[in-house]
Amino acid sequence: MATHTFSIKGNLVDLFKKEIYPAEIIVVDGKIEAVNRIPPSVDRIPSTDEGNSVNGKLLTENCYILPGFIDSHVHIESSMLVPTEFAKIAVTHGTVGTVSDPHEIANVCGMEGVEFMIENGKEVNFKFNFGAPSCVPATTFETAGAALDSAQVQQLLEKPEIKYLSEMMNFPGVLYKDEEVMKKIAAAHALGKPVDGHAPGLRGDAAKQYIDAGISTDHECFTKEEALDKLGFGMKIIIREGSAAKNFEALIELLHDYPDRILFCSDDKHPDSLVLGHVNQLCARAVAKGVDVFKVLQAACVNPVEHYKLDIGLLRVGDIADFIVAEDLVDFKIKQTYINGELVAEEGVSFIKTKECTPINQFDCDEITTAQLEIAIKDYPLQDGKIPVIEALEGQLITNKLLLEQTLDGDNLISNTATDVLKMVVVNRYHNAPVAKAFIKNFNLKQGAIASSVAHDSHNIVAVGVDDASLAAAINLVIKEKGGVSAVSNNKELVLGLPVAGLMSTGDGYEVAKTYTAIDAFVKEALGSTLAAPFMTLSFMALLVIPHLKLSDKGLFDGDKFMLIQ
């Protein structure tokens, strides 16, 4: 069998020696055979004109060779792309692997959904590292499409493709030692696989108890004080910067003092954001903040490999040849990306090809009528004569609970665009059921409505709008597509179909991003939303495990009391 060998020269960023020096890397059959330091007598790397070439591709003399980036916690489904298409875009930004929680598709399709993600990911040259979803369904206060008990989680954890137990969102279950919860954690520990955490706002003794149960990371910290609390109890902190939840500014200073215990993640990233950049953006921002580049790259490259025991190379002799070539260590513009010794992207062009995909789904509800969306004042849980209102917060998954004045049309409560208190509804997508209704602030729509079947964690249809006719139109567009995101105005309707579990498209990633970008712009320009990511924000308004006030298909939910509001 023929041996495939090539070499590449550049400024090697050695993250273990913490040095940057001219070197030649020899790759043989997808592994690093040698790393040869270019001696001082050779005072510079040959310029492009002098023929420094890799696989026939010429490189500049000032390029930097470094390990590839890893997104340490991401739900691929939130990109609205199947894994193969996510990979196609991610490699152009220097991402070589992900720590991926298939929790979203598992809530819709159960074990079949997890298997779909694993098998689809295997079709391309990219390092997907999936977890076993720990909370399916996330709570008993919503309708999901599936459930995974501890025995099924054990089956998943025994698979070599499953690297860890995904985020344990049921922190009350950990604190009260729920039998099923503890069995899942014990199964991961017995197999030597780490357990990811999810405990927003948990502090003090409760945080210590949660961490002492063997939970090793948290990506939900939204203040430096909370993160320091958890670091003090031995936890690792994953700094999140996604399309909606943005905690980078609050937490990045921690990297100065805890370089071995900080990782980077996006958590949820919509396709338009992914086209613009990935982990490379966080590296650039961290360096701009004055964080030492070796600490930045330790968080982006080394820490996830070591924590999750990933089969991803770190540019050492004998490692798999997973590495990137960057133009500089400031903006981290990526020139080339290599995975398993194969060039998978160059100068923003991906060599990963679109693969055919057969959708799986669970979607079985009828189109709705405007009458189903009416809110009789006698049926709504007023408090001191006022209506409880969800306050969406820019860049956060948490919400506030407001008590505001009601607006009536006869005996029915309605939206008020003047005060930006709009009707929000959740429609059960798995079977016909009464529509859950509430009110929300900060979407600032002036006309029309938006709807989505991407609604964490159970992925029912969530919608917000200024009137019932618009709401019904937006919801029914999603139902016709068996999943998707939609927006309607007084004279226009747009929809992006997501036939894979109502979460992902089967189409080309760049085309999906283009369509999504157009709908997103329409929501801002025509409908008036002032949110940076209105659909991503909308998707979290049914996420019950994040306080303070949310809406499931069963009704308003108090995240602090962890109960439905009757």
Is position 529 within any domain? yes
Q: How far is CA 322 from the centre of its chain?
A: 23
Distance (Å, whole) CA 301 – CA 70: 6
Residue-wise pLDDT tens digits, 366-408: 999 999 999 999 989 998 889 999 999 987 888 999 999 999 9
Secondary structure E strands in 399-460? 399-404, 408-409, 412-413, 421-427, 436-441, 449-452
Whole-number Å distance between alpha carbons of 278 and 296: 14
Question: Strand 421-427 and strand 563-564: pairing?
Answer: unpaired
Alpha-carbon gap, residue 490 to 415, rounded angstroms: 16
Which of 170, 562, 540, 105 shows the shortest CA–CA distance to 360? 105
Question: Would 402 be classed as within a structural domain?
Answer: yes
- Pair (382, 483) in one structural domain: yes
Q: Do 303 and 387 belong together in one domain?
A: no
Alpha-carbon span 110 to 144, nearest angstrom: 10
Instruction: Give every strand in the sheet of 236-240, ordered side by side.
Output: 69-74, 95-100, 127-132, 162-168, 195-197, 217-218, 236-240, 262-265
Which pLDDT belongs to residue 41?
61
Among residues 343, 528, 563, 546, the alpha carbon closest in space to that of 449 is found at 528
Same domain as 399, residue 288 = no
Per-residue confidence at 58, pLDDT binned at 50, 70, 90? Answer: very low
Which pLDDT belongs to residue 51? 36
In a domain, 308, yes or no: yes
The answer on 76 and 188 residing in a single domain is yes
What single-letter DSSP state applies at residue 39? P
Q: Are residues 407 and 298 in the same domain?
A: no
Question: Does residue 413 carry a pLDDT above 50?
Answer: yes
pLDDT of residue 54: 40
Residue 227 and residue 133 in one domain: yes
Residues, the chain = 566
Using the 3D structure, point to which of 269, 295, 313 is the last residue of a domain: 313
Q: Is residue 264 part of a domain?
A: yes
The DSSP-derived string for 288-300 is HTT--HHHHHIII
Q: Given this model, what pLDDT does residue 27 score?
A: 97
Does any domain span residue 17? Answer: no
Final residue in a domain of this structure, among 293, 313, 333: 313
* Average pLDDT in the chain: 94
| Among the ranges given (279-283, 323-327, 417-421, 539-543), the one the predictor scored with the smallest mean pLDDT | 539-543
CATH number, residue 95:
3.20.20.140
Query: Of the residues 279, 313, 347, which one is the last residue of a structural domain?
Result: 313
In a domain, 411, yes or no: yes
Residue 331 maps to a domain: no
- Do both 84 and 199 map to the same domain? yes
Q: Are 413 and 304 in the same domain?
A: no
Residue 391 sits at φ, ψ, to 5 deg, of: -105, 110
Are residue 279 and residue 395 in the same domain, yes or no? no
403 near 420, Cβ under 8 Å?
no
Over range 111-119, report the average pLDDT.
98
In a domain, 513, yes or no: yes
Cα separation, 33 vs 550, whole angstroms: 54
Same domain, 374 and 302: no
Residues 288 and 390 occupy one common structural domain: no
Q: Is the pLDDT of residue 114 over 90?
A: yes
Residues 414 and 307 in one domain: no
Domain boundaries, position 550:
370-564
The per-residue pLDDT for 384 is 87
Structural domains of the chain, count: 2
Query: What single-letter DSSP state applies at residue 46?
Result: P
Supply the pTM of this predicted model.
0.92
